[in-house]
Amino acid sequence: MSASHTSLLATVATLPLRPGVYRFIGDKERVLYVGKAKSLKKRVSSYFQAGRQQPLRIQAMLALARSLEVTLTHTENEALILEANLIKRFRPPYNVLLKDDKSHPYLHLSTQHPFPRLSVLRTPPRPHSGKDHLPASLEGNPGQWFGPFPTVTALRETVKWLQGMFPIRHCEDSQFNQRQRPCLNYQIKRCSGPCCGRISAEAYGQMVRDVCLFLEGKSTLLLERLQQAMWQAAEGRHYEEAARLRDQIKSIELIQDQRRVNLTGSAHLDVVSIAQDESGCAIQIFSVRHGINWGNSCFFPENSHDQSPEEILEAFLAQYYAPREGEATTLPPEVIVNRVLPHRQWLAEALSSLSGQAVRLHRPVSGEKNRLLQMASLNAQQALLRRQQNRASFDKLLHELAEILGLPQPLQRVEAYDVSHLQDTHPVGSMVVCGPSGWIKSSYRHFNLADPHLSDDTARMARMLSRRLSRLSPGSQADDPEENSHALPRPDLLLLDGGLGQLHAVQQVLQTLALNDLALCAIAKGEERNAGKERLFLPNLPEPIVLPAHSPVLFLLQRIRDEAHRFAIGMHQSQRGRAQLKSGLDSIPGIGPQRKRLLLRHFGSVKAVREAGIDALREVSGVPESLAQRIVEFFQEGS
């Protein structure tokens, strides 16, 4: 027995028979594994029982463990939720991990504004902020939240057909305040033009209430009101208004028919199904709110190869529904799954305590809910099959690429680099990574290349590779895994977007860093920059390699290059957009982002701030008299 195991056993002997969470800690205080227990002493002792065969993953974890930390909880439910939050926080390498840790997207209605705006936000609602219904008066409500939705794509689709039925504005408040005539959305009947008085506040408020009724699943009440209004308009001989209401009713009924699932009543539930094979597992989630399918999403948990589907599903549900920091829990009252979970009652009680209402967790064996569960299971199996096929395709093509380039080893990590700018402004570089399993997005990196000494793309490419590879040079501490466990792995191939210039510049970088053994390839567009005529430049070949126009390996290289280009352009556009938002207010001492936002929201534009007097500036919350005086003096000096 190792000294570290002796130390761990000494700690286990002192553990109480109480619920809590335990953490195995490795070198440099890295959290290796997080677990929950109804009885800490019994659960942790089971890891060291003689004759008990542990999974290989747990054996590897115990070999690296150096210490043990525990947190006592009052109840078993608290232990389960704490475990999920600690896994999200530390991302221990030996736990089942939910890869997508983004906050859920929501639909927000800014009801604090006289003319509320409909927008898509990832900012989570504060606890209890989204549970109050929209009052008759729209003033005094900080906002109405709907969600969470499973994906942003599903939410944007919802917004698209909502704007077709209810022309609510979706412009920023600053744009709304500056408008003097309606925008294009008004012309195509996707906005009612409240910015220019084309609709009264009363009529707009009624439309907002109709949107809330629809999103809350009260479509029957909504249709009854619209039908009554249609007949009243017809009797009053307002035929155009009656026709508009008729078309609106048809649109709502069509959306209901297209998106309503085949369930009796107004169902409010999540359908969660897991599929597993030797390559991994996929978990499919369908979100049904008020009988309407709000979309679905698929997840591929990590570190799940040696665990049963039931264990994986339990760990996934705890992480998926555990609230993120500052986010309200919006659990449905019913979650149906395709497996009988061993700790179903424990998980259901924990989710109920989070939600504030009873949450039922079960597996239907017949009926309409079972049919919906089978549909989710089929989607999970298909998603797993597609992922397996993509992996096989990537693996095969990377082997063929290695043969074409004359590389001895299989390519496990290919890094592609690109530079993006607009007439030498806001230059950025990108690094994208792929391997036999496909894209490795956690390794993507951006490089800020805004240096006046970098005269062209060749110099920028050399600078980017120098910054990336300097940590791999001999003698670098980052080259030693023991010194830096978070350093990016060594690449098998560096793929550059460019020609001989980029190739020679990066060759000099490799020579300077004593990394001449790294494989290098530059891919340049052919004549007239047409796809299909790319040339591959290698360090030791006098002539470039030209692959057939329909070569699968060429298609792979084009995909990798285009992904690097897409990633670079995204960062470049972001930097350019931020630069365009800078104004004269940024040069005034004492004005930061928050005060700048308050001033622009109050006055609508920098021009209006410039023309405002001290008294008008003091009316803005958070602007003292001294700052108001400074703003006036600043613009007077600049005029």
Residue 324 tokens read as: 């993120």
Residue 166 tokens read as: 């209810």
Give the Cα separation of 231 and 212 in Å (integer).
23
Place of tokens 């002493």: 41
Right CATH number for 584-638 from 1.10.3660.10, 1.10.150.20, 3.40.50.720, 3.40.50.150?
1.10.150.20
Q: Are 355 and 331 a contacting pair, CB within 8 Å?
A: yes
H or E element, residue 34:
strand 31-37
Q: What is the pLDDT of residue 136?
A: 36
Question: In which residue ranges of the chain is CATH 3.30.420.340 found?
Answer: 406-578
What string of H, E and C letters represents the secondary structure of 400-467?
HHHHHHCCCCCCCCEEEEEEEEECCEEEEEEEEEEECCEECHHHCEEEECCCCCCCCHHHHHHHHHHH
Question: In which residue ranges of the chain is CATH 1.10.150.20 found?
Answer: 584-638
Give the Cα separation of 498 and 259 in Å (integer).
47
Residue 24 tokens read as: 């195995």
CATH topology of domain 3-90: GIY-YIG endonuclease (3.40.1440)
Contacts of 354 (CB under 8 A, 6+ apart): 81, 321, 322, 323, 329, 331
Q: Are 328 and 125 a contacting pair, CB within 8 Å?
A: yes
Distances from the Cα of 507 to the Cαs of 458, 511, 513, in angstroms?
Answer: 12, 6, 10
- List, for residues 176-228, the tens digit of each pLDDT value: 877 788 888 888 888 888 988 888 888 898 888 888 887 777 777 778 888 88
* Cα dihedral sign, 29-32-34-37: negative
Question: Phi/psi at 292 (nearest 5 deg)?
Answer: -105, 135
User: b/e map of 30-58 (b: 16 or more CB within 10 Å)?
Assistant: ebbbbbbbbebbebbeebeeeeeeeeebe
Question: In which residue ranges of the chain is CATH 3.40.1440.10 found?
Answer: 3-90
Rg (CA), the chain: 30
Contacts of 438 (CB under 8 A, 6+ apart): 390, 391, 394
Q: What is the pLDDT of residue 139?
A: 36
User: b/e map of 335-349 (b: 16 or more CB within 10 Å)?
Assistant: bbbbbebebbebbbb
Q: What is the pLDDT of residue 584?
A: 66
User: b/e map of 74-107 (b: 16 or more CB within 10 Å)?
Assistant: eebbbbbbbbbbbbbeeebbbbbbbeeeeebbbb
Half-sphere exposure of 620 (CA within 13 A, CB side): 26
Residue 257 tokens read as: 């028919």
* Cα dihedral sign, 598-603-608-609: negative
Residue 618 tokens read as: 């003091």
Parallel, antiparallel, or unpaired for β 334-337 and 269-277? parallel
At 541 the three-state DSSP class reads: coil
Q: Are 281 and 292 a contacting pair, CB within 8 Å?
A: no
Q: What is the pLDDT of residue 229?
A: 84
End-to-end CA distance of the chain: 80
Q: What is the pLDDT of residue 173?
A: 79
List alpha helices for 96-235, DSSP H: 152-165, 173-178, 184-187, 201-215, 219-235
Q: What is the pLDDT of residue 481?
A: 39
- List, for residues 218-267, the tens digit of each pLDDT value: 777 778 888 888 998 888 888 888 888 888 788 777 766 656 665 666 67
At 272 the three-state DSSP class reads: strand
Q: Are 286 and 270 a contacting pair, CB within 8 Å?
A: yes
Give the Cα separation of 347 and 388 in Å (integer).
31
Q: Which CATH class is domain 406-578?
A: alpha beta
- List, for residues 493-512, the tens digit of each pLDDT value: 999 998 899 999 999 999 99
Instruction: Specify the DSSP class assigned to residue 269.
Output: E
Among residues 240, 117, 217, 115, the alpha carbon closest in space to that of 170 is found at: 117
Right CATH number for 269-384 from 3.30.70.100, 3.30.420.10, 3.30.750.24, 3.90.650.10?
3.30.420.10
Residue 152 burial (C-beta neighbours within 10 Å; 0-12, 13-18, 19+): middle
Give the Cα separation of 115 and 195 in Å (integer).
9
Give the Cα separation of 505 and 520 in Å (integer).
11
Q: What is the pLDDT of residue 158?
A: 76
If the chain, 639 residues long, is cut into consecutive pieces of 10 residues, what is the mean pLDDT of each piece? 72 89 90 91 88 82 90 87 85 81 75 84 56 36 70 78 82 79 85 88 88 77 84 87 83 67 72 88 86 81 84 88 64 90 88 85 88 90 87 88 87 92 82 90 89 86 92 58 56 92 92 90 78 84 88 91 90 72 70 79 78 84 84 75
